[in-house]
Structure 1
Amino acid sequence: MLSAIGLIGGLALLIYMTVRGVNILIAGPVAAAIVAATSGIAWLPPLAAADAPDFATAYMDGFVGFFKSWFFMFLLGAIFGEIMSASGAAASVAHWIVEKIGIKHAVLAVVAACAVLTYGGVSVFIVAFSVYSLAVHLFREANLPRRFIPAALAFGSVTFTMTTAGSPEIQNLIPMEFLGTTAYAGWEVSLVVAIFMAVSGHFWLNAMVKRAVARGEHFVGRESDDTNTDYSALPAPILCLLPLVAVLGVFLIFQYPQNMGPLSALLPASSLDKWALVAALGSGAVVALIVGFKKLAAMPDAFSRGATSAVVAITNTCAVVGFGAVAKLSPAFQEALVMVQNIPGSPLIGAAIAVTVIAGLTGSASGGQSIALPLIAPHYLDVGAQPDELHRVVAISSGALDSLPHNGYVVTTIRAVCGETHKDAYGAVGALTVVIPVIGTIMAVVLFGIF
């Protein structure tokens, strides 16, 4: 009982402190320490019994493990975004989009840019860095409240693209290992759900923005913004799209070398997965430098800003990952795993609840899947669940409660990338990345039950 109170209390405290603006580097360890104390886990290694876990080691293992795995991606992604801004490429593309599709579609343009990159396989963390500068220019052109930029970035990245059939994001790939399925499992239902999420989310986001504008909200610039409005001096829009094309193209080449014929022999197996993203972002940054060669003098500062942003962003995420690492050691967490395996009714309902609850506790969609699937997959397959249906429900449900305020992606996007507060920005983010996917999960369960 004490362990359960500590786990729920620690999570609630983490969410409360995050929303109140407490630095996540403080909020994460404090909340995790409470979970450890109520779970009988020693705070320091000397106080722990032989071979028993302790708070400090577990927290830092989670923290450092994420930093080690993702630092280069964060660094290159942040630098790429800063180069796009400093070179004028983001401003040029934004102005061109507004001219072609109209100022009223500025929000849709941001969502679409994120969706293309995400479905192309670029990590959702990096998409925010890559598209942010473009989003700022679009929102400035349309005079829209910039507090909705995180919602636009998140909606285009972690909803209808991240967990849909065919997506190369890890949230769609993890179930394959445990269920023997493919990335296109349950594609018919997935397509219906994805269309629903995309359309309903788009209208909801636009409605929120319009209400804010009607109340008198507008775009407020910052000293760090690129305020260049002399569009005649900017690079041609078609050239400015090349860096984004380079990121997506190089990523796909390195991610799927088996499809490249003779080139396959030149690409080692280690090129797959996240290292493909390193090559892609590096290539995109080089192309962006070439496109903005007239502003090379501004690039040293852009590199410096990008490096600083990357460190802030990744450490914010690491703080949340560390909390999840401690939470997994709690007896209450282990009891919750057993409990969700025994949820009565349809296996799809039990799997959806199990994955999304664990994803919410750990603040990670992939974490929720990785923890739950080894336990629930054999059980639900034994009782007759169809692997393809289970795959799709697990993938979609993992992208629901994972986006609570303490989620690493949410913290990084709102605070580190966009410079907003949870108080101003999370309402829209939560609506689009929690409520919409929850409804999508229910739709998927119902549709699989009907067909």
Structure 2
Amino acid sequence: MLSMIGLVGGLGLLIFLTMRGMNLLVAAPLCAVFLAVLSGIPLFPQLVAEGEANLVGNYMAGFSGFVASWFLMFLLGSIFGKVMEDTGAADSVSKWVVERLGMKQAVLAVVAACAILTYGGVSLFVVAFSVYPLALSLFKQADLPRRFIPGALGFGSVTFTMTSAGSPEIQNWIPIKYLNTSPYAGWEVSLIVAVFMIVFGFWWLQRMIKKAVANGERFVSRAGDPVVVERELPNPVLGLIPLLVVLVISFIYHDSLKQSALIIALLGGIVATWALNRRHLKNVWESASNGTLGALIAIANTAAVVGFGSVAKVSDAFTSAVEAFTHIPGSPLIGAAIAISVIAGMTGSASGGQSIALPLIAPGYLDAGVNPEALHRVVAISSGALDSLPHNGYVVTTIRGICGESHKDAYAAVGALTVIVPVIGVIIAIVLFSLGVGI
């Protein structure tokens, strides 16, 4: 009983502290201590025999293990995004989308710009930083409430693009290691689910904004608002080519190199961006250095909550929960979806949730004859649902750090679009796979 209180209470405390603005690198270890004390987990490795569970050992094993496995992907993804940003390639693509859709479709333009950049392999954090000034300008000109900008950015970045078949984002690549699949696993169902998310999510976003406007909400300018700096930008085609390079290289090498293909793909994207747009980049090494710092922040925030999850998974409550999840009557895909969603929610990270849950559930499901393609797609989509609870690193950074909003004002839209919409998408995917679609 105390272990369950520690598990649920630790997660609740982590969400509370995050919403109060505490840094994840501080909040996650504190909550891990709370969980460990109530679960009876020894605090230090010196207090147990070698190899036995303890707070410090398990937390740092989870933290360092995630960094060791995914640092190069985070690093190259961040540098690629930074080079795209500094050359103006990302802005060029975004502006091209805006010009084609027009000012009357301001919200759609923001969502589309995020989607194109994300599916092209640009880091989620970099996409938010890159598109935010344009989104702010569009919302200002359309006189729309700015508190919906985080929702628009999140909807375009972490829903139908992040977990779809073919996406170079790591949330679509982690299952490959455990299921021996490809990034295109279950693409037929993935396409149907993505279309649903686009249509339903955009309708819901528009409805929320229209309701707010009808209640008298308008755009309110603030001192220090960033502006879109007018500068010479590369041709949009030269901005799109590096995104295509990432997708093509990952497609060519995914069978032979699995998740390591993403390293080559992102490196190819960096080289292509620099080669095609180098006259717009003043200092390539400074850009790479800034990208490195961005990668360190992003992976540290994710690893911090993975560390919390690594402590959680040695608690009695966690073991009981996973046992219950993996033995839910009916389709094994339902159990997998629930397990991944809940663990991703606990860790506040889609990639962290997959890294913790898949080693535990994949062998048993595969031995039971579950189709690995279907399992891959259900795992990917479900990981992008409850991961977007308030303590998620991307959510915190986008709402507070980039957009300057509060969780109180902005999270309702973010939660609706990045939690509820993907949950419905998971349900649709499970139904379709159960009917034999794409298998």
Decide whether aligned partners of structure 1 residues 157 and 51 sit closer, same or farther in structure 2, where only a CA change above 3 A counts.
Answer: same
- Per-residue deviation, 1:427: 1.4
Residue in structure 2 matched with residue 76 of structure 1 by the alignment: 79
Inter-partner Cα distance in structure 2 for 1:11 and 1:278: 37
Distance 1:376 1:308, change over 3 A: closer
CA distance in 2, matches of 1:44, 1:240: 57
Change over 3 Å in CA distance of 1:309–1:255 after alignment to 2: closer
Which of the numbers 323, 333, 336 marks the counterpart of 2:308? 323
1:369-394 CA deviation, whole Å, 9 max, x = no partner? Answer: 34333443444445554333333322
Counterpart of 1:25? 25
User: Residue 258 of structure 1: CA displacement?
Assistant: 4.9
Write the distance in 1 (CA, Å) between the matches of 2:379 and 2:258.
28
CA contact (8 A) 1:139 1:219 kept: no
Moved more, 119-128 or 356-365: 119-128
Task: Choose which of 337, 349, 354 in structure 1 pairs with 2:322.
Answer: 337
1:119-176 CA distances to partner (integer Å, 9 max, x unpaired)? 2334434433443344334334434333322222221222112222333333333444
Alpha-carbon distance between aligned partners in 2 of 1:381 and 1:97, rounded to the nearest angstrom: 42
Which of 225, 237, 251 does residue 246 from structure 2 map onto? Answer: 251
**How far apart are 1:189 and its partner, in Å?**
2.6
The reply on whether 1:400 has 2:389 as its aligned counterpart is no
How far, CA to CA, are the matches of 2:285 and 2:140 in structure 1?
A: 25
Alignment of 1:49-448 (within 5 A): 49-64=49-64, 69=71, 72-73=75-76, 76=79, 79-80=82-83, 83=86, 97-214=97-214, 215-223=216-224, 225-226=226-227, 228=229, 234-235=231-232, 239=234, 241=236, 244-252=239-247, 254-256=249-251, 258=253, 272-274=261-263, 276-278=265-267, 280-281=269-270, 284=273, 290-291=279-280, 313-448=298-433
Kept after mapping to 2: 8 A contact 1:158/1:433: yes
- Residues 327-374 of structure 1, C-alpha deviations (whole Å, 9 max, x = no match): 233232222222211111222222222221222222222333343334
Report if aligned partners of 1:92, 1:240 keep a CA contact under 8 Å in 2: yes
Whether contact under 8 Å (1:75, 1:311) holds in the other structure is no
Partner Cα distance (1:41, 1:161) in 2: 39
Question: In structure 2, do the counterparts of structure 1 residues 166 and 254 end up closer, same or farther at CA, with 3 Å as the change threshold?
Answer: closer
Q: Distance in 2 between matches of 1:353 and 1:306?
A: 35
CA contact (8 A) 2:39 2:315 kept: yes
1:435 CA drift (Å): 0.3
State the identity as a percent.
55
In structure 2, give the amino acid aligned to 1:241: P
DSSP 3-state at the match of 1:273: helix
Closer, same or farther in 2 for the Cα pair 1:181/1:76, shift >3 Å? closer
Question: How far apart are the structure 1 equivalents of 2:278 and 2:213?
Answer: 36
Q: Is the 8 A contact 1:337 1:354 kept in 2?
A: yes
Q: Secondary structure at the match of 1:22?
A: coil
Aligned residue identity for 2:342: V
2: distance between equivalents of 1:137 and 1:171?
31
Tell me if the contact between 2:90 and 2:130 (Cα under 8 Å) persists in the aligned partners: no
1:404 shift after superposition = 1.3
2:351 counterpart letter in structure 1: S
- What amino acid maps onto 2:232 in structure 1? P
Q: Which amino acid aligns with 1:151?
A: G
Whether the aligned pair in 1 keeps the contact of 2:160 and 2:198 (CA below 8 Å) is yes
In 2, Cα distance between the equivalents of 1:37 and 1:52?
Answer: 16
User: Alpha carbons of 1:286 and 1:27: their partners in 2 closer, same or farther (altered >3 Å)?
Assistant: farther
Deviates more, 1:184-193 or 1:32-41: 184-193
1:79 and 1:307 in contact (8 A); partners too:
no
| Contact 1:155 1:201 (8 Å CA) reproduced | yes
Distance 1:44 1:105, change over 3 A: same
Shift of 1:15: 0.8
Question: In 2, distance between residues paired with 1:181 and 1:67?
Answer: 23
The answer on 1:36 being equivalent to 2:36 is yes
Moved more, 332-341 or 416-425: 416-425
For 1:28 and 1:56, locate their aligned partners in 2 and report how far apart those are by CA, in whole Å. 12
Runs of at least 5 residues in structure 1 that lack an aligned partner in the other structure:
none
Superposed CA deviations along residues 77-113 of structure 1, whole A, max 9, x for unmatched, are 67447636xx6x7777666655442212122122212
Tell me, which stretches of 5 or more residues in structure 2 are unaligned? none
Deviation at 1:415, TM superposition (A): 3.1
> What residue identity is the alignment partner of 1:103?
M
Q: Note if contact 2:151-2:410 (Cα within 8 Å) is conserved in structure 1.
A: yes
Given that residues 312 and 416 in structure 1 are in contact (C-alpha distance below 8 angstroms), is that contact kept between their aligned partners in structure 2?
no
Q: Which moved more, 1:342-351 or 1:41-50?
A: 41-50
- CA change 1:428–1:244 in 2 (3 A) is farther
Aligned Cα root-mean-square deviation (Å): 3.7
| Change in CA separation of 1:74 and 1:46 when aligned onto 2, cut-off 3 Å | farther
Alpha-carbon contact 1:381-1:387 (below 8 Å) kept: yes
Distance 1:312 1:168 in 2: 20
- Distance in 2, matches of 1:121 and 1:255, equals 10
- What one-letter code is carried by the residue in structure 1 that aligns with 2:4? A
- Worse-superposed segment, 422-431 or 246-255: 246-255
Partners of 2:408 and 2:80 lie apart in 1 by 26
In 2, the alpha carbon distance for the partners of 1:418 and 1:198 equals: 23
* Larger mean Cα displacement after TM superposition, 299-308 or 201-210: 299-308
User: Between Structure 1 and Structure 2, how many residues are aligned?
Assistant: 431
**Aligned partners of 2:85, 2:184: CA distance in 1, in Å?**
35
The alpha-carbon distance between structure 1 residues 177 and 314, as it changes in their structure 2 partners (threshold 3 A), is closer
Measured in 1, the distance between the counterparts of 2:299 and 2:185 equals: 32
